[in-house]
Amino acid sequence: MKLITALKGTHDILPEEVYKWQYIEEKIKNITERYRYSEIRIPAFEYTELFARGVGDTTDVVQKEMYTFDDKGGRSLTLRPEGTAGVVRSFLEHGMFSDALPKKLYYMITCYRNEKPQAGRYREFRQFGVEVFGAEDPSLDAEIISMAASLLSELGLKNLVVNINSIGCPKCRKAYNDKLREYLRPHYDELCDTCKSRFEKNPLRILDCKSEICRKIGENAPVLLDNICEECSEHFEKLKKELEIFGINYVINTSIVRGLDYYTKTVFEITSDSLGAQSTVCGGGRYDGLVEELGGSPTPGIGFAMGLERLLMCMEAENVYMGEPSKADIYVAALGENASDFVSGFVKKLRDEGISAERDYMSRSLKAQMKYANKIGARYSVVIGDNEIETGKASLKNMETGESEELTFDEMKDKLKNR
């Protein structure tokens, strides 16, 4: 019978490597607590309309990458390709706009995109993100950039570059789009079919196209940052000032437009060279019109997201410490049938006291049991037979040093608890 394997673009996180993910997740929980973000958990699928309206129907995500299907009721549903739209939907549906603002949220979720799998990029991937609603001050933009940079630094990544840009607001972008169309018009026939469809509706997306031809055409396009309005320019200047106050070095990168339609004003990416060429490990920006676009009152918003697979690859490439696999505090070997019954009760008592304990379930010989204790990396081991049960004492062995000491079962329990 043919073996069924995982789908292309998905992957298993095996027991021997899951500790690395737990290490990253613990760091995330720590920094979100310090910055006072609350966790939100959203559904894995939503009405397709949410992403068409929220992410933007001119983006690669909506046009090419979404997993969309009709359910038995004929409703069009989509597996979430990103987190922001779902969080905004929840923000509105549950009336969080009436809470004390700003509302600061974070999530760790799986996302789904039907794109070509490559190193660090999967069709099912894990993502950490934050979203903040209700504040338009540039100091908040700087804070979330600072938060992302601090997390990556605390995770041990080096040579990080903070890239910032402003893509303006709908008012100044309208005039820029007219100018961009005039530049692109002579090259229209050279554009890919997707970018031809974007030409009238959202030409800015052409500058974010992955096609080499479109990318080349866009190299000499008018620079959006040079065409933003006074309000957006002031916002960008204040952002730069705040980043300098935070001591964050940054690079103004006018090529950043981000791949989703909802961004306004501030956009940023944090890149690393740990995988060779500079690659993005975190990206985000401001989306002051998205809440209104999805049916709410005008409410400013800002956020970022980072793919955890790509992050893990960077950490591994830089040989960053990510903790160690969990090990049993003690392996309790049983010698004989009577001892096996005693060991069952003793192991239960140890576990109830918060001690990580393991025992034999395979009817192994004593030699095989000790070999297994070594294999699982138990810190201590003890052999219990009829004699140990009768005297109430046993020899506790330190598996690293080989040293042993005879202790009562209560003394053994106390030593393991206090070690």
Nearest to 349 by CA among 410, 407, 405: 410
Each residue of 358-399: pLDDT tens digit?
A: 999 999 999 999 999 999 999 999 999 999 999 999 999 999
pLDDT in the model for residue 115: 86
Torsion angle of alpha carbons 256, 261, 265, 268, nearest 10°? -40
pLDDT in the model for residue 343: 96
pLDDT in the model for residue 260: 66
pLDDT under 50 in the chain at which residues?
A: none
356 contacts: CB under 8 Å, gap ≥ 6: 326, 327, 328, 329, 330
pLDDT in the model for residue 276: 77
Residue that has been written with the tokens 């990510």 in this structure: 322
Task: Say whether both 251 and 378 belong to one domain.
Answer: no
pLDDT in the model for residue 409: 95
Could you tell me the residue range of the domain that residue 378 belongs to?
330-418
**Strand 264-272 and strand 161-166: pairing?**
antiparallel
Task: Say whether both 58 and 160 belong to one domain.
Answer: yes
Q: 290, 317, 344 — which closes off a domain?
A: 317
Q: Cβ(145)–Cβ(113) under 8 Å?
A: no
pLDDT in the model for residue 227: 92
Q: Identify the CATH number of the domain in which residue 392 sits.
A: 3.40.50.800
Q: How far apart are CA 386 and CA 100, in angstroms?
A: 65
Q: 283, 317, 351 — which closes off a domain?
A: 317
Task: Say whether both 161 and 275 belong to one domain.
Answer: yes
pLDDT in the model for residue 347: 97
For 1-62, the DSSP string reads -PPP-PPTT-----TTTHHHHHHHHHHHHHHHHHTT-EE----SEEEHHHHIIIIITTSHII
Task: Say whether both 105 and 145 belong to one domain.
Answer: yes
Task: Say whether both 405 and 313 belong to one domain.
Answer: no
Each residue of 274-307: pLDDT tens digit?
A: 887 778 999 999 999 999 999 999 999 999 999 9
Nearest to 96 by CA among 88, 106, 85: 88
pLDDT in the model for residue 397: 97
**Strand 161-166 and strand 68-70: pairing?**
unpaired
pLDDT in the model for residue 259: 61
Q: Is residue 287 part of a domain?
A: yes
Task: Say whether both 118 and 165 belong to one domain.
Answer: yes
Q: How far apart are CA 122 and CA 42, in angstroms?
A: 20
Q: 272, 288, 317 — which closes off a domain?
A: 317
Q: Is residue 214 part of a domain?
A: no
Task: Say whether both 55 and 159 belong to one domain.
Answer: yes
Task: Say whether both 296 and 407 belong to one domain.
Answer: no
Maximum alpha-carbon separation in the chain = 94
Task: Say whether both 343 and 291 belong to one domain.
Answer: no
Q: Identify the CATH number of the domain in which residue 114 sits.
A: 3.30.930.10
Domain count for the chain: 2
Q: Is residue 266 part of a domain?
A: yes
Omega of the bond leading into 81 within 30 degrees of 0 (cis)? no
